[in-house]
Structure 1
Amino acid sequence: MILVNTDYISGKELEMIGLVKGSTIQSKNVGHDITQGFKTLVGGELKAYTEMMNDARALATKRMVEEAEKMGADAVVNIRYASAAVMQGAAEVMAYGTAVKFR
Structure 2
Amino acid sequence: EKMFSETVAAFYMAEMLLAISHLHNNLGVVYRDLKPENCLLDADGHLLLTDFGLSKVAVEKSEDSCNSILGTVEYMAPEVILGKRYGKAVDWWSFGALGY
- Identify the structure with the greater helix proportion: 2
Flag whether TM exceeds 0.5 (same fold). Answer: no
Greater relative contact order, per chain length (Cα 8 Å cut-off, separation 6+): 1
TM-score, reference length from structure 2: 0.37
Instruction: Look at both structures and tell me which one has the larger radius of gyration over its CA atoms.
Output: 1
TM-score by length of 1: 0.36
Give the number of the structure whose residues are more often strand, by fraction: 1
